[in-house]
Each structure stands twice: as structure tokens, then as C-alpha cells.
Amino acid sequence: MAKYLVIVESPAKVKTIRKFLGPNYEVAASNGHVRDLPRSQMGIDIENDYEPKYITIRGKGGLLANLRKLVKKADKVYLATDPDREGEAISWHLMTALNLQDKAQENKVSRITFNEITKGAVRESLKNPREIDMDLVDAQQARRILDRMVGYRISPLLWAKVKRGLSAGRVQSVALRMIGDREDEINSFIPQEYWTLDAVLSVRGENKPVTARYYGTSGSSGSIRKQEIGDRETAAAIQADLRGASYKVTEVKKSERTKKPPLPFTTSTMQQEASKVLNYSTQKTMRIAQQLYEGVEVKGSGSVGIITYLRTDSTRVSEEAQAAAKDYITSTFGAEYVAVEENARKGGAKIQDAHEAIRPTDINRTPAMVKESLTRDQFRLYQLIWKRFTASRMSAARYETTSVKISGSGKKQDHIFTVAASHVLFDGFMSAYTDEEEEGINAGMTKGLDEKSVLTFKSFDAQQHFTQPAPHYTEASLVRAMEEQGIGRPSTYAPTITTILARRYVSKEEKNLYMTEMGEVVNDMMKKAFPSIVDPGFTANLESLLDGVAEGTVRWKTVIENFYPDLDEAVKTAEKELAEVKIADEETDEICDKCGRRMVIKYGPHGKFLACPGFPECRNTKPYFEKIGIACPKCGKDIVVKKTKKGRKYYGCMGNPDCDFMVWQKPSPVRCPECGSLMLEKGKKLVCWNPDCGHIMDKPSEGTEEQ
């Protein structure tokens, strides 16, 4: 009787797949990669055409020995690692590690892939075996070698100039720069004042008043000119001109619009939505999705994978899944809820369509049916994926929108106010899935308003506002920005963010990501010494080249040959330029109160601290507070640079906790010429700290100070 061996990556898959196959099949796991570049050296032979030096990963010897025994007993071996570049490379490494070359020549080794771990998908893959795709392998090799070159050539500079244990990375350094650039943008942002003016009007015959928003003025020809209200005086002038005015409806416009259903999840959109809706980190989302993909124990079904492959940037859906969704939606919601045509995203240069979108493996397996079989976290993510996919196969929602223009006859000119509202005519996909945008769709009250309506003025509501800077990155918005700029790929988003958080380059407070002091040091060094490495455009171009390798249009070693010489030159230049730079172990005027030596600045996990240079004889340490030479406006003590518990930098009083002064922007030695208060630096501007003043002025040129 024939014996077949199926090798997968994860032990969790073994149990799920084994039950789909008969007694003639043995299923075993490689536990991920079995060979890799050595950790003790770069592992790339620069002189020999950049040949990688692969070795067996430490601790995998026993596992490989067991796999070799199974290989000898098998008549045929199926390599069933994940259906992506990484999985293709693992299968290729298994060929060497398990000495499968002879079996391959006898057509006894095949590569199989499946996008979902279900009986039908696994059995179908066995009917369509193929050879290993070396283009995908080479794309993975090129990525691995590029990352190794960046990490192993640049990280030692960080160790020498800052502290050991730091790291640079081809993708992580760009992500760090993006966060730093956003913080610079926020810190230099100057708020602009603006006002909104609402007129509250009663409508004869209606119980509820109408609130209309000021839009602009109306000319004698009937033309309408939009007018922004920039300050309190303008708002007051409009109200004064409208004192005693009469109001009338001049236009009621009704129209119908549709809202298309969302696309099914890709890796990026799943991470973004799970962060917004479930408050999951990218790492947590991927960990739970992996569990749902590999297989969970479902009552009545045993171990089964309930979602498709989780690393994808495709929104394609198989014909079988389309048909199943159509049947489910028709029977559950009605035929009118089925999408007339497939909802799909147009392909682009940055979209790989090798996989399907992330979806439930069986749409009939509703969240309610599996709730008792899943943990709370698993259930919440599965429910999100199921609802999103179901909605993506449904028809668009339809709204009736009403826009009303109201004219107020001022003493000098007529003023126009507007009211807008909408209500749902047909909920379509929203019966299965809604988001924050859709939840607030029915704003405003226009029912009963027409040109004959009699309006009576009740009151004005004038509100002051200030423009806001771009928000700090969250994990979700950083993933979105990385995807939009072509930085990284679905498999890299979560590990990239996890790494910069683990290295304490970035801290996470609430959902926001903030650059830490350590992150600033590393980012500044990278931007100065390796501008191309941290350039988003350069990194995105590399990703495109790797896509070309995967497609067979670019030779993988050509990418390496064009990259390494420039990196090597940049590293050598940086070593010379940074030789005189003393970032760590800087001597201070602080005296060690145990041995009398001058203490030095060192870097720890949480940033700078003071340490005695007499270590290990003297182990005295102290917190380090960097004075900026400016007195606290509340108590007169020194203002120093401080950090939150998670590493975010701010400026606070040395007298804390007795004095609670703190600001996020750096205080300036310049005093406000209007009120004499402290001023804060915001890019090229200075802004008064006193909220009752708010004076803004240009920074004085260097060498001049206005005290």
C-alpha cells in the first residue's frame, strides 16, 4: 500500500489536515524554516557573487532527523508549506535539508498549495502538484539578503555610538522615519482660527427646530459666494447684520446616492479594521488569524480552518465562494440583497493577485454557530471577517439626500445658511456590516421643509475652532501609510511595528505611536548617514524590484549587486564621520556621591541615565535630566527634558511633584512681546504659552534673543 508524506509548516495544521486524508498519508510539520543565514556573521559571500551561506537552524537537528526517517518510508513527498514566497523558500530549503534531490528526479517530490485548510482545498491541491517556483524562492532570498546586509552592516554603528542591542532594518528604519516625520509635522503645526455660525430656526407646524449652518452670501444676481469665518469679529459682524432679519427657504434639492459595499479584507485592511473596531494590535490580529486559518476545534466538525490564508493583498474571491455567498445572501436576506456584479479592486503595480482575499472558508458557518467553539478574541475577529466578506458580496445601500438653502435678509446683504440630511431607502450591505462613517449618516432635520415653510429666528450659536494637525500614527494608520507608499508587504507590517516597539524606538500610548528619545537618536543617525535606506521612495522601489524577481522578470542577484556597493560605501563614510561623535558615555558635571567621579551619560532600555564610570567597583546610577537653560514660569526652577513611562518626551519642571508645569513643545528663551509669558517652539514659529494671549511670531534668527 502506497505511503505519502505531506510536510506542512505548523504543527497546528497537522491535526487539521490529517483528518482530511486517508490512512495512506502521513502529515508532519517543519516548524517553520529549517535553514537560514548564520546569526554569528552576515553569512553572504560578497566575493563569490553574493552567494548566501545557509546553515541548519540551531535546535532543528532532531526534527530534521525524524523527517528524514519519514521520507525514507514514503513513496512520495508533498511539500505543503504556506502559499507565499516565504512558504516557497521553506519548501526549497526542505529539499536540501531532507536530501530530496534524488526523489525529485524520480518525480517523487511535489509542491502543493492551498489557500484554505478545508477538505476540498487540500484534496484538490493533491490533484494539482507542481514543481517549486524558483522565482518565488529567489524573491524571498533577495529580501532576506537585503535585510541581512542592512542589519549586519549598520547595526554595529548603533552599538558603537549608542548602546548594544539596537538594530537597523530595511523596512523598520523607514517606518521609524515615517513616525518621526509625522511628529515633526505635528510639532511645527500652527493652528489657524476659524468659526462656525449656526442659526436655530423654528418651523411653523413642526415641533423640532432646524439648525442651519452658515455658508456665505448671496449677490443681487442670485449667485452664492462661500465665506469662511476667520475670527470672532467676522462672526459678530454677520450676526449684527442679521439682527431682526427674516428667513426663508430658497431651495430644496433632493437626490439619491448609493454607497458601495466594502471590499473583503486584505492583510492590511484586516489589521486596520481590527485595530479600530476591536482595539487589537497588528501582532495580536495576525496571531489570532493564524489560529483561525490553521484550524480550531469546531463542535460537530472537529479541527477545521475557518478562514482563508491571512497574508494577502488581493481582493479576489473564488467562483465557488462567490456562488456560496450568493446562495446564503439570497436565502437569508433576499434576492435583492445580492450584488449585481462582483465588487473588486482594480489591480495595480503594488497589488499581488496570487491569493484570494481573507474570507470565511464556509459562509454558512456563521459567527453564532462557532461562538462556543472559539475564545472571545477568536470569535470577535472571525465575526469581523465574516461580516466584512458577507457585506462585500451584497448590493449597494441607497440613500435619499436632501439639501436645503435658507436665506437671511441682512441689513447690508443676504446671507445663506444650509441644512443637509439623508435617510436610507435601501440598506443593502449595511444589514450585515456597518462602519463609523455609516453610523452617523442620518444627521440633520429637513422633513417638512419647503419653499412655503414659515421660519422664525430663535438664536445664533457661534463656536470658535482651530485647525488640527495631522494625527499621530496609530498601528492601523501606519500600516495603511506603508501599504499606500509600497513599503513592505503583507507579511512585514506586524513584525515591523512589533520590532520598533520592542526596541523602544517608539512608545504606544492609547492607540498613538510616539517617538522615544532612543528612537530620535537612531532616526537622526539613520537620516544623516543612510538617507537612501530610510527614504520611503527608495524602499518602495526595492519592493517593486522584488516583485519583479517573483514574476521572473528581474534576476535576483542583480538587485543585490546594485544595492550592496552603495551600502558598503555609505557604511564606510558613516564610520569616518561618526568616529568623532560621542553620543554615549558623555561626561557631565554631576558628581558621584559615592566615589567622587564625574558621572557619564549612558543609554538603557528607557533612554538616558547617569552612571558612575567606576563600574563595576562603583555601581551608582541616577536619573538623567537634561536642563534646557530656561526657568519654569510657575515656580522658577529649571525646566528639564522628561519622558512618560512609555518613553514619550516632554518638558517639565525640576520641582515636580510640587510644581505641575509640563508642555510637549520645547520652550524658547524668547519671551512673548505681548504678555511676557513663556513661548513654545512650533517649527519656524513661536507660540505664546498663555492661552489667553496666544501670540504667534516668527523665530528670531540664530544669534539673536529677545528676552
Q: What is the DSSP string of 56-86?
A: EPTT-HHHHHHHHHHHHH-SEEEE---SSHH
Region of residue 352 (phi > 0: left; psi between -120 and 50: alpha; otherwise: beta)? beta
Q: Which residues of 36-68 are buried (b: 16+ CB within 10 A; e: fewer)?
A: bbeeeebbbeeeeebebebeebeebeebbeebe
For residue 580, pLDDT beyond 80: no
Whole-number Å distance between alpha carbons of 308 and 321? 11
Confidence of residue 581 (pLDDT cuts 50, 70, 90): low
Whole-number Å distance between alpha carbons of 660 and 454? 55
Nine-digit cell at 493?
Answer: 507590517
The pLDDT of residue 78 is: 97
Three-state SS for 324?
A: helix
Residue 284 CA, distance from chain mean position? 13
- Whether the ω angle into residue 605 lies within 30 degrees of 0, i.e. cis, is no
pLDDT digits (tens, 9 = 90+) for 626-680: 888 899 988 889 999 887 776 678 899 988 888 999 998 889 989 999 898 999 9
4-132 and 143-188+471-577, same CATH topology: no
Whole-number Å distance between alpha carbons of 394 and 486? 30
Average pLDDT, the chain: 89
Query: Residue 35: which of 154, 163, 169, 141 has the closest Cα?
Result: 141
Q: What is the DSSP string of 452-504?
A: T--EEEEEEEEEEEE--PPPPPBHHHHHHHHHHTT-S-TTTHHHHHHHHHHTT
Contact by Cβ (8 Å): 663, 689? yes
For residue 681, pLDDT beyond 50: yes
- CA separation (Å) from 342 to 187, 260, 322? 45, 11, 8
Query: Residue 602: which of 594, 613, 593, 592 has the closest Cα?
Result: 613
Spans of all domains in the chain: 4-132, 143-188+471-577, 192-257+400-415+457-468, 267-392, 586-698
Measure the N-to-C terminal CA separation of the chain; round to a whole number of Å.
Answer: 93
Nine-digit cell at 39?
Answer: 546569526
Catalytic residue among 309, 399, 433, 651: 309
The pLDDT of residue 707 is: 38
CB atoms under 10 Å from CB of 243, counted, come to 10
pLDDT digits (tens, 9 = 90+) for 369-415: 999 999 999 999 999 999 999 999 999 999 999 999 999 999 999 99
The pLDDT of residue 310 is: 94
Comparison of pLDDT for 311 and 187, the residue scoring more = 311
* Percent of the chain clearing pLDDT 70 (strictly above): 93
Confidence of residue 117 (pLDDT cuts 50, 70, 90): very high
Confidence of residue 702 (pLDDT cuts 50, 70, 90): low
Question: What CATH code would you report for 4-132?
Answer: 3.40.50.140
Which residues neighbour 235 within 8 Å (Cβ) at sequence distance 6 or greater?
Answer: 195, 197, 229, 462
Q: How many residues does the chain have?
A: 707
The pLDDT of residue 627 is: 84
Query: Residue 446: which of 404, 407, 503 has the closest Cα?
Result: 404
pLDDT digits (tens, 9 = 90+) for 437-461: 554 444 456 677 888 889 999 999 9
Q: What is the bridge-based pairing of β-strands 678-682 and 667-671?
A: antiparallel
Query: Residue 174: which of 506, 559, 539, 491 has the closest Cα?
Result: 539
Question: Measured on CA atoms in the order 6, 12, 18, 20, is the torsion positive or negative?
Answer: negative
Three-state SS for 343?
A: coil
Task: Tell me yes or no: is domain 267-392 CATH 1.10.290.10.
Answer: yes
Q: Which residues of 573-585 are buried (b: 16+ CB within 10 A; e: fewer)?
A: ebeeebeeeebbe
Which helix H or strand E contains 424, and what residues bound it? strand 414-426
For residue 424, pLDDT beyond 60: yes
Question: Measured on CA atoms in the order 98, 104, 110, 111, is the torsion positive or negative?
Answer: positive
Predicted TM-score (pTM) of this structure: 0.83
Whole-number Å distance between alpha carbons of 27 and 297? 18
Range of weakest confidence among 148-157, 159-168, 360-369, 534-543? 159-168
Whole-number Å distance between alpha carbons of 432 and 386? 9
For residue 558, pLDDT beyond 70: yes
Beta bridge partners of 667: 680
The predicted model gives 149-170 an average pLDDT of 86
Comparison of pLDDT for 680 and 166, the residue scoring more = 680
The pLDDT of residue 683 is: 75
Nine-digit cell at 275?
Answer: 485595530
The predicted model gives 189-193 an average pLDDT of 86
The pLDDT of residue 221 is: 74
The pLDDT of residue 395 is: 96
Whole-number Å distance between alpha carbons of 421 and 402? 5
Which residues neighbour 331 within 8 Å (Cβ) at sequence distance 6 or greater?
Answer: none
CATH architecture assigned to 143-188+471-577: Orthogonal Bundle (1.10)
Whole-number Å distance between alpha carbons of 617 and 614? 6
Amino acid at 503: R
Whole-number Å distance between alpha carbons of 390 and 293? 18
Amino acid at 612: C
pLDDT digits (tens, 9 = 90+) for 500-514: 999 889 999 889 999
Cα-based angle 181, 690, 645 (whole degrees, multiple of 5): 50
Phi and psi at residue 462, in whole multiples of 5°? -100, 130
- Whether the ω angle into residue 565 lies within 30 degrees of 0, i.e. cis, is no
Contact by Cβ (8 Å): 363, 380? no
Cα-based angle 221, 226, 229 (whole degrees, multiple of 5): 135
Three-state SS for 550?
A: helix
The predicted model gives 521-534 an average pLDDT of 90
pLDDT digits (tens, 9 = 90+) for 220-233: 777 899 999 999 99
Which segments of 281-393 does DSSP mark as H helices, in order? 282-294, 319-332, 367-370, 376-392
The pLDDT of residue 652 is: 92
pLDDT digits (tens, 9 = 90+) for 593-613: 888 888 888 876 666 788 998
At the fourth CATH level, which superfamily is domain 192-257+400-415+457-468? Topoisomerase I, domain 3 (2.70.20.10)
Question: Is 309 designated active site?
Answer: yes
Whole-number Å distance between alpha carbons of 496 and 509? 18
Contact by Cβ (8 Å): 599, 622? yes
For residue 352, pLDDT beyond 70: no
For residue 348, pLDDT beyond 70: no
Which residues neighbour 608 within 8 Å (Cβ) at sequence distance 6 or greater?
Answer: 517, 601, 602, 624, 626
Which helix H or strand E contains 36, and what residues bound it? strand 35-36
Nine-digit cell at 389?
Answer: 466578506
Residue 692 CA, distance from chain mean position? 38
